[in-house]
Structure 1
Amino acid sequence: MKLSAVTTSVALAAAALLAGPPASADTLKKIAESGKMTLAYRESSVPFSYLSGPGAPVGFAVDISNAVAEAVKKQVNNPALKVELQAVTSQNRIPLLTNGTIDLECGSTTNNTVRGKDVQFAVNYFYTGTRLLTKKTSGVRNYADLARKKVASTSGTTNAQVIRKYSRDNNLDLDIVLGKDHDDSMLLVDTGRAEAFAMDDILLFGLMGNARNPAEWTVVGDSLQVEPYACMLRKDDPQFQALVNGVIVSLMKSGEFEKLYTKWFMSPVPPRGQNLNLPMSKELRENLVAQSDKPAQ
């Protein structure tokens, strides 16, 4: 019995170590002691966080991340603080945050109550809903046109869950196929392995604009479930949460946030000079005043 108890204790200790940092995180202390901060980025979440060519990522969320990094440099009194970049996917972004590999993730991550059990979200900075990207020649105009057909989504996203639920609720018997990232999911449609790609509408417009031939593509379907995007940080870290929220709220109050929005959603963006021409939504404009971090349910 004693040996069993010791074995169990060792196993639990090992599991705790593998689980990542302790519940009471202190990101600012970690950064100050290591002399570096690690920011996450996405490779194809246009126009939030993406690679437009060789070099560093660009995008709306990247600009917000960089503003946070500048505030951290002042907070830890280290102008020479090293800022490292780490690519993440929909699948690994939360594990890499909780285990301390990255310190902040600002991209195209939905703030919802399920994820809120593992991470903390900052103030919401965008609102979107699930729609469909398809070839104009597909004949797909809405979800009913996809009954018993293959539909792509990206592994680890809320959209895959939303489309599965919609399929069950409406007896569509959709065959969901998952890409490892958004480019991979779009490729499934481009190569005929799926009829449409279900994802946040804003990301679909960005991917379409960056396609080899944007005129071949169209975004269709009703918007399913409006969801907020927000930056992720580790739970139970009030100091770092206050700093990140302070940066975002300051951008919102000063008018800089609207300038960034215009830059990425109402102006030509790299690499193809596409202009999404997407006016700010009612939900986002209201949150410039409310500055809420309320999650999707």
Structure 2
Amino acid sequence: MRMLLMAAVALLAAACGSTPGAVPFQLPPGSQLPPGAAVITSGPSERGDQSCDPTASLRPGIQPQPGAMPAGSTMAAIVASGKLRVGVDQNQTLFGYRNPATGQIEGFDIDIAREVARDLFGDPERVELHPTESANRAPALVANEVDMVVQTFSATCARRKDVQFSTPYLLADQRLLVTKTSGIRSTADLAGKKVCGVYRSTTLDAIFALPQHPTVIGMVNWLDCLTALQQGQVDAVSTDAPILDGLKMQDPNLELVGETMDSDAFAIGIQKQATDFVRFVNSVLQRLRTDGTWQRLYDKWLSGVGPSPGPPATRYSD
């Protein structure tokens, strides 16, 4: 056990060296944190910039027939490559997770990505899924590692400095996930507690804004937060409710509590220069809203979260 703990400390030290405002924290006796876990001492300010309307996107263009994209367009280049490269999660039940029975990554986000491939190629299977850590979603686009990101990626003004976003395809409110015996019923009960979040996520900002000053523990992904909550290494997990619902489905001893802390609009992230592809993707999303596909996908993946709110309203910047 002593060797395991020493290894954990070494991993934490390495992680903290690359994560601003993150330092190791004391482990409960006999426990081991996932690699990369650390205390976060300041929020990423992902929601703080209010200089734009983060949910407004470019108006859809005229949708070409699958496989017949305009010459010289971003879409034509993607079709010529033979596949649509998509940054996704593989640890988020309901949105993007690896099905242990099939080994395939499945979820609401994955099916949204396949609909874009359907309109590009005429074949929804022409996707190349790239599992990406939440903190690396924008960097993966900037580095041209993927053509788009569909990964519960919240549109914000801060992120728009590096990437573009489609219109939102789902709205979500931020809440808390706790064990049923925790005694935590609202954010007012978090004083002196440990709250888990994922690096660079928008939902960290609302935690740091609380007057109760909980200790914020950063993890690489939400599945690590779930494990830490189950092992008593943190007292709560806070992020958007649909993500928390996916974690709760894996453990009947957990529950969502508390008031709405903030809200997010999930959108598709696209490379900054690919304005034509933004318009194309917005055309795809408009089709999903009007032909019943969005509702079908909601019923398939998210009906257990609650009644369908319907697809989000659209706002266009031009």
TM-score bracket for the superposition, by shorter chain length: 0.7 to 0.9
Which residue matches 2:200? 156
Matches within 5 A, 1:16-95: 27-53=74-100, 54-74=102-122, 83-95=127-139
Off by >6 Å, runs of 4+ in structure 1: none
Verify the 8 A CA contact 1:136 1:218 in the aligned structure 2.
yes
1 or 2, which has the higher helix percentage? 1
Verify the 8 A CA contact 1:124 1:292 in the aligned structure 2.
no
Distance 2:170 2:238 in 1: 18
Which residue matches 1:224? 261
Verify the 8 A CA contact 2:115 2:284 in the aligned structure 1.
yes
Extract unaligned runs of 5+ from structure 2: 1-71
Deviations 1:63-110 (A, max 9, x none): 110010121225xxxx79953211011111111111111111112111
- Please state if 1:202 is matched with 2:250: no
Percent of paired sites with the same residue: 29
Which residue matches 1:192? 232
Deviations 1:232-282 (A, max 9, x none): 11113222112111111011011221111111122xxxxxxxx33x1123x
Distance 2:125 2:247 in 1: 34
> When the two structures are aligned, how many residues end up with a matched partner?
245
**Which amino acid counterpart does residue 103 of structure 2 have in structure 1?**
G
TM-score by length of 1: 0.77
- Please state if 1:143 is matched with 2:187: yes
For 1:111, what is the secondary structure of its paired residue?
coil
Distance 2:125 2:183 in 1: 53
- Please state if 1:114 is matched with 2:158: yes
RMSD: 2.1
Verify the 8 A CA contact 1:179 1:188 in the aligned structure 2.
no
Extract unaligned runs of 5+ from structure 1: 1-24, 267-274
- Cα distance 1:26–1:233, how it changes in 2: closer, same or farther (>3 A)? farther
The CA deviation at 1:210 is: 2.1
Which residue matches 1:291? 314
The CA deviation at 1:33 is: 4.4
For 2:114, what is the secondary structure of its paired residue?
helix
The CA deviation at 1:32 is: 4.0
Distance 2:249 2:126 in 1: 34
Which residue matches 1:234? 271
Verify the 8 A CA contact 1:124 1:293 in the aligned structure 2.
no
Matches within 5 A, 1:272-287: 275-276=304-305, 278-281=306-309, 284-285=310-311, 287=312
**Which amino acid counterpart does residue 180 of structure 1 have in structure 2?**
V
For 1:130, what is the secondary structure of its paired residue?
strand
